[in-house]
Amino acid sequence: MSNLTSGFPKYRLWRTGYSKEAAAVDASSWLRLDVGTPWGRFVVKASRSDLTSSADQLAEFEKHFETLSTPHGDVFKKNHLDLCPFDVLEWVLPALVLEQGQRGPNLRDMTLKEFWNKPWGTYRIKIEQGRLCAEPGEPISRVVSWAGLSLPRLENLQPFGIEKRNWSDFHVRAQVPGSVVCDLPRLVWLGDQCYRSRPFGNNEGNISLIIRKHQVINSIIESGRFFVDSQKVPALMTRAHYIIVDDNEQVVGLAIECPSGTMPLREALQAGRYVESQAAWKEQLRRTMQGLHNLNIQWAAVKLDNVLVREGEAWICEFGGAYRRSELDLFGGEGNRFDEWLLSHLFSKPLWRE
């Protein structure tokens, strides 16, 4: 993988798509990327018919089309062409950066409500003077938005001990150039306090489980008695501070503690940050998981994006819904072995360098 995306870390690939009814060599074939940028969220589409004037770019398109049309399971996992979905973003990124560099300042500060309801922009990848260019198109109002979904109202869920706040109370801020980004804002602000946002879908039962799980974790953290072993080493887990509701009191997410100086584990690994700390992160996660198991609690959401890290420390920030063995069995889990297997799988991903 080239250094391009590490030079532009605020460009993030969220979702991919391709023309399932047409092969790469068909005139009607296309691929698309949903990308977060410092100027907002964009759908980037490349069609074979727009690239026929360049044999080199046409060949690139065919390779990237094959990459997206082959099941991969991980955006960084290389295929037989030595490509992964993330490389597709790197292919169009020079054109995207060049076009967006002419836009002036990035997104203004806005409320979380405004951000989540802001239409997605579009780009069409074309050839100009033998090079890729990104041509702006009409915005798409509803690529992803839960404003039109039938979300559960807070009053219809079981009572929770976590305070609610309206989504207009939180702000998405450009604290540093490029920090307003992606399909979802990672950081939101309530006054001068920073939180990590955790948005929900529209599965009412799952939302109840997730909030209840965070409430259990909150009580453990607040008790001050949770250690990973007899040496009194504290487990690193984050508290959920607020349930975020929209103007109709529908539950749209959580505002979760964000320890100062941390970043998502995926971003740290992708950028090659803190390589010397990676072994310590693995050990911390193993020990924290063991501490949870000692309390008959499972980590049901073992993912790179659900861990926050800084030098020498790793926090679990999202825990999933089910937390007892009987609940995990409903999801096909087998007690402790369920999340242990997921953690081993996470540690085997190719991004690790220690």
Would you state the structure tokens that stand for residue 214, as one six-digit string?
């965070």
154-347 is classed CATH 1.10.287:
no
pLDDT at 208: 86
Residues 89-115 have a mean pLDDT of 80
Q: Is 225 left (phi over 0), alpha (psi -120 to 50) or beta?
A: alpha
* Beta carbons within 8 Å of 303's beta carbon, 6+ residues apart: 318, 346
pLDDT of 333 above 80? no
* Mean residue pLDDT across the chain: 81
Phi, psi dihedrals of residue 142, rounded to the nearest 5°: -135, 70
Confidence of residue 225 (pLDDT cuts 50, 70, 90): low
Alpha helix (H) residue ranges in 193-352:
204-223, 265-271, 278-294, 325-330, 336-347
Does position 96 have pLDDT exceeding 80, yes or no? yes
Q: How far apart are the first and last CA of the chain?
A: 18
* Low-confidence winner among 130-134, 304-308, 323-327, 330-334 (lowest mean pLDDT): 330-334
pLDDT score, position 313? 92
**What digits encode the pLDDT tens for the residues 241-264?**
999 999 989 898 999 999 988 988
Give the confidence band of 186 by pLDDT, cuts at 50, 70, 90. Answer: confident
Query: Pick the residue with more confidence: 270 or 232?
Result: 270
At 220 the pLDDT is 84
More reliable by pLDDT, 269 or 118 = 269
Whether the predicted pLDDT of 336 surpasses 90: no
Residues 222 and 213: their CA atoms lie apart, in Å, by 14
What percent of the chain is modeled with pLDDT above 70? 78
What average pLDDT does range 61-78 have in this prediction?
Answer: 80
Residue 348, pLDDT > 60, answer yes
Residue 133 pLDDT > 90: yes
What is the tens place of the pLDDT at every residue in 150-177?
A: 678 898 888 889 999 999 999 987 655 5
Residues 192-218, mean pLDDT to the nearest whole number: 83
pLDDT at 112 over 80: yes
Residue, of 71 and 34, whose pLDDT is higher: 34
**What pLDDT is stored for residue 100 in this prediction?**
74
Residue 134 binned pLDDT confidence (cut-offs 50, 70, 90): very high
β-pairing, 40-47 vs 163-166, is unpaired
Confidence of residue 3 (pLDDT cuts 50, 70, 90): very low
Closest to 60 (Cα-Cα) out of 99, 94, 87: 87
Amino acid in position 232: K
pLDDT at 255: 96
| Maximal C-alpha separation, the chain | 68
Q: Could you tell me where in the chain the CATH 1.10.510 domains are found?
A: 154-347
Label residue 56 by pLDDT band (50, 70, 90): very high
**How far, in whole angstroms, is CA 178 from its chain's centroid?**
16
- Spatial separation of the C-alpha atoms in residues 39 and 176, rounded to whole Å: 13
> Between the ranges 35-44, 96-105, 198-207, 316-325, where is the mean pLDDT highest?
35-44
- In the prediction, which pLDDT does 59 show? 94
